[in-house]
């Protein structure tokens, strides 16, 4: 009788969780889009961040979680690491929102800090709701793989065309060799335009391909045979597309994430050596084809050459790193306010001869420290450490069949943190924030099905 009651209760809970889980999956499906709405969503402030299409599923998820009564809050708080992560992330979001009161350009452009703070609040609330939603990691991984497939096709087509394909109705930016400011690579007399996908910069689409490739790597370790070999093919195509972005940070992040998956799946590697061998051979072919076709640009991009474009890229990052350290020294405790560092950098540039515009420092922790001060930096570090620990525990406790999916999401979090040492989008852009905190939220999130099975098994033992 008790077993029947448990089953009935879990069915009711699953029904309540369904709207939240739909919002979570829709969010991961829309991460690769920059598309902005022509209107402000009702009940939301009219800010830059509130016009993204991605806001719709984020708001839906949070609202659904609130309406059904904050389900699984007790399960969420049962883990000290998970609870610490949730509190640290929410406190960081509130601190970012409060920073508008002391932001550097609060009098001339108060909307800058307001938008950045609002963005962080809605992402943090989404992450906590997603972690409590019981969304199956396999479903999130499938959504990321869908994004990988169409983004790979788009990036490969853009690279072949050496420019945009004219998909402006879908949000593609119109870029080519004749467009000023397009991201290019020069190798002698040859010039290559890096692919953008449907995003505003090649490095950002590289991040999307990075998370998709690590998600596809989990399929190579799946229990089902067809999934392993389909995953191997998708992974190889995704790796080729990732290489075409020429994003050094994403290349390194992918290698690190793949290492995390391999290190934590040693027993599984021996059992699925056939699929792993196929995946390795296909990736080697992808790398060989890429190297043979783009060798001069690889040499230029990796710093072995002396191309002015790449030297300028490196020197610009050094300049903004110096500005960030100077800003931190001036406002050590509270920073210049969320989203305000590019404006502070612009002020510094006025007293120099550099032909630059204000920009973010290409380092996540320095960005947080410069904008939100030591308080924000401490909260960020606590959130990163506690999230990693909570996810690691969940991966270890996962079933053999479900472990690869949860592990892939943890590896994505680690990979994006590695990217954050050379780029800023995991912290500054809403797409990067959702990918970073959303993936770890599902990795460390509650597992309703597994807990109900344990209760039923315990009940049968007592009987």
Instruction: Please report, for the chain, the start and end positions of each structural domain, with discontinuous segments joined by +.
Output: 78-447
* Residue 400 confidence (pLDDT): 84
How far is the C-alpha of 70 from the C-alpha of 90, rounded, in Å?
Answer: 15
Which tokens in the block code for residue 281? 């051979």
Q: Closest by alpha carbon to 57, among 31, 78, 94, 34?
A: 31
Top pLDDT among 275 and 313 is at 275
Question: Among 38-47, 110-119, 153-162, 375-384, which is the least confidently predicted range?
Answer: 38-47
Q: For 121-141, what is each residue's pLDDT tens digit?
A: 999 999 999 999 999 999 999
For the chain, the average pLDDT equals 91
CA distances from 282 to 93, 115, 159 (A): 42, 44, 20
How far is the C-alpha of 313 from the C-alpha of 296, rounded, in Å?
Answer: 18
Only one residue has tokens 């490196």, namely 314
455 band by pLDDT with thresholds 50, 70 and 90? very low
When pLDDT is averaged across residues 249-270 and rounded to a whole number, the result is: 92
Q: Which residues, in sequence order, are CB contacts of 158 under 8 Å at separation 6+?
A: 164, 165, 195, 196, 197
Only one residue has tokens 């479903």, namely 139
Top pLDDT among 15 and 387 is at 387
User: What pTM was computed for the model?
Assistant: 0.93
Backbone phi and psi for residue 285, each to the nearest 5 degrees, phi listed first: -60, -45
Element (H, E) at 193: strand 190-193
Q: Is the pLDDT of residue 345 over 90?
A: yes
* Residue 308 confidence (pLDDT): 57
**Contact, 341 vs 96, CB < 8 A?**
no
Q: For 301-325, what is each residue's pLDDT tens digit?
A: 876 555 556 566 778 889 999 999 9
* Residue 9 confidence (pLDDT): 53
* Residue 14 confidence (pLDDT): 73
Backbone phi and psi for residue 25, each to the nearest 5 degrees, phi listed first: -65, -40
- HEC readout, 14-65: HHHHHHHHHHHHHHHHHCCCCCECCCCCCCCCCCCHHHECCHHHHHHHHHHH
Q: Which residues, in sequence order, are CB contacts of 51 under 8 Å at separation 6+?
A: 36, 37, 39, 40
Q: Is the pLDDT of residue 78 over 50?
A: yes
CA distances from 182 to 154, 163, 322, 437 (A): 17, 9, 25, 29
Backbone phi and psi for residue 83, each to the nearest 5 degrees, phi listed first: -65, -40
When pLDDT is averaged across residues 259-271 and rounded to a whole number, the result is: 88
The residue length of the chain stands at: 463
Task: Count Cβ atoms within 10 A of the Cβ of residue 329 and give its class: 0-12 exposed, 13-18 middle, 19 or more buried.
Answer: exposed
Q: Which residues, in sequence order, are CB contacts of 320 under 8 Å at separation 6+?
A: 345, 359, 360, 361, 362
CA distances from 134 to 38, 66, 130, 276, 280 (A): 33, 15, 7, 30, 33
């Amino acid at each position: 009788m008790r077993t029947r009651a448990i089953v009935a209760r879990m069915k009711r809970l699953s029904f309540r969780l369904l709207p939240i889980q739909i919002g979570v999956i829709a969010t991961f499906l829309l991460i690769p889009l920059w598309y902005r709405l022509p209107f402000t969503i009702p009940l939301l402030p009219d800010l830059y961040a509130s016009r993204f299409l991605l806001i719709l599923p984020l708001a839906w998820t949070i609202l659904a979680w609130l309406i059904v009564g904050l389900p699984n809050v007790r399960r969420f708080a049962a883990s000290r690491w998970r609870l610490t992560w949730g509190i640290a992330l929410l406190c960081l979001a509130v601190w970012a929102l409060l920073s508008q009161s002391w932001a550097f350009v609060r009098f001339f452009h108060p909307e800058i800090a307001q938008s950045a703070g609002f963005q962080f609040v809605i992402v943090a609330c989404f992450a906590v709701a997603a972690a409590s939603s019981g969304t199956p990691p396999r479903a999130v991984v499938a959504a990321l793989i869908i994004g990988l497939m169409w983004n790979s096709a788009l990036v490969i087509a853009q690279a072949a065309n050496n420019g945009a394909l004219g998909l402006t109705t879908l949000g593609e930016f119109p870029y080519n060799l004749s467009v000023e400011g397009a991201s290019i690579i020069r190798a002698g007399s040859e010039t290559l335009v890096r692919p953008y996908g449907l995003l505003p910069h090649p490095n950002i689409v590289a991040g999307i391909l990075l998370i998709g490739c690590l998600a596809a790597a989990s399929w190579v370790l799946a229990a089902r045979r067809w999934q392993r070999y389909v995953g191997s093919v998708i992974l190889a195509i995704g790796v080729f597309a990732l290489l075409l972005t020429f994003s050094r940070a994403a290349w390194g992040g992918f290698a690190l994430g793949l290492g995390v998956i391999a290190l934590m799946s040693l027993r599984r590697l021996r059992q699925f050596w056939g699929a792993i061998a196929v995946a390795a051979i296909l990736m080697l072919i992808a790398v060989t084809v890429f190297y043979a076709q783009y060798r001069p640009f690889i040499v230029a991009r990796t710093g072995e050459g002396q191309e002015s474009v790449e030297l300028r890229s490196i020197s610009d990052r050094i300049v903004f790193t110096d500005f960030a350290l100077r800003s931190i020294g001036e406002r050590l405790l509270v920073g210049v306010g969320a989203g305000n560092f590019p404006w502070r950098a612009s002020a510094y540039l006025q007293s120099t001869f550099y032909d630059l515009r204000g920009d973010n420092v290409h380092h996540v922790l320095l960005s947080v420290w410069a904008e939100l001060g030591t308080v924000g930096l401490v909260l960020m570090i606590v959130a990163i450490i506690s999230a990693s620990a909570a996810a690691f525990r969940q991966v270890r406790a996962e079933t053999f069949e479900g472990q690869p999916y949860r592990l892939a999401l943890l590896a994505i979090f680690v990979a994006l943190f590695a990217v954050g040492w050379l780029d800023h989008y995991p912290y500054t852009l809403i797409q990067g924030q959702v990918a970073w905190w959303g993936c770890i939220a599902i990795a460390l999130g509650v597992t309703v099905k597994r807990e109900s099975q344990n209760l039923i098994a315990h009940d049968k033992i007592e009987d």
